[in-house]
Amino acid sequence: MILDRAYVQFSPNRFTGWCAACALLLLLALLPGSSAHGQDQPAPPVDSLYLPTLMRPYCPNTVTLVLPEDGAALTNLIPTLNWSVTNATGADKVELLLFTNPERTGQPANYYLGPVTTRQVQLPENLEPGTTYYWFGRLVCGGVSGPDSKVRSFTTGSDGRMISPPSPLKPADNAYAPAPVTIGWSLIVPARGYRWYVRAVGSSAFESGVAGRLETVLDLDLKPGTRYEWWVRTIGTYAFGPESTHFYFTVTP
């Protein structure tokens, strides 16, 4: 995202060629006695100079929200969010932010960060029932967020039924298993599918995916000797069901 100004710290690795020359000239202009500051005004310290941002990666503002439509009244808690991107030059990620206040202040209620080629996502957790969400998207270029898209809103449903969870079956609880690990669970009718979750024991971050069958191969970077926790939920027309019993496995070398 190109900003008008930003605090910049000098580093030999960030400034080369004419950028270094421009910075040096600016420093000289800010020294005491220069015409820019006058003899009675000290020059600001180098580490707090407020410089025009010429080095920030440019990130285009080309994200357009598609679905849900603006102001939509949904009947579920698990909408699929769709968007389009007309120009992804320089971008490597796309992010979505969902807030429950129209001012969009504070921490977002939900957040998604994924590959720039992604055009739709179903968030891995139920949204709050009967709640209005204000959401927008933007590209990410080299770790720098681009401009926000136009903001849309939708309201979740509040009158639906959750489907009971399946039972984890394999690998057996506390088993040792070689990678790639296959996890499996029992059939639940009338589930439309299943969402699984895996995380290293002690971590709050998890990986998640959707399966239409009763098992899936974990195409993840599982570390040998690490103990993992996993669980599964049903996918219904209204929401994800409650979490199943949590099982554990350790990846063998």
Q: Tell me the pLDDT tens digit for each residue of 212-242.
A: 999 999 999 999 999 999 999 999 999 999 9
Model confidence pLDDT, tens digit, residues 8-35: 222 333 333 334 444 444 444 444 544 3
Residue 60: band (very low, low, confident or very high) from pLDDT cuts 50, 70, 90: confident
Q: How many domains does the chain have?
A: 3
Answer yes or no: do 90 and 131 share one domain.
Answer: yes
Residues 109 and 175 in one domain: no
Assess if residue 163 is contained within a domain. no
Q: Do residues 24 and 90 share a domain? A: no
d(CA 39, CA 32): 6
DSSP letter string, 54-86: -SSPP----EEEEESPTTEE-S-S-PEEEEEES
Are 246 and 188 within one domain? yes
Residue-range definition of the domain harbouring residue 189 = 168-251
Is residue 57, in this structure, part of any structural domain at all? no
Say if 241 falls within a structural domain.
Answer: yes
In a domain, 58, yes or no: no
Q: Is the residue at 36 inside a domain?
A: yes
Structure-token pair, residue 165: 């969870």
Reference 1, options 141, 146, 116; nearest CA is 146
Whether the predicted model's global pTM rises above the 0.85 cut = no
Identify whether residues 72 and 147 lie together within a single domain.
yes
For position 99, which CATH number holds? 2.60.40.10
Checking if the pLDDT of 87 tops 80, the result is yes
Rounded (10°) CA dihedral 198, 237, 243, 216: -30
Nearest of 135, 105, 107 to residue 123 by alpha carbon: 135
Which secondary-structure segment (H or E) carries 14?
A: none
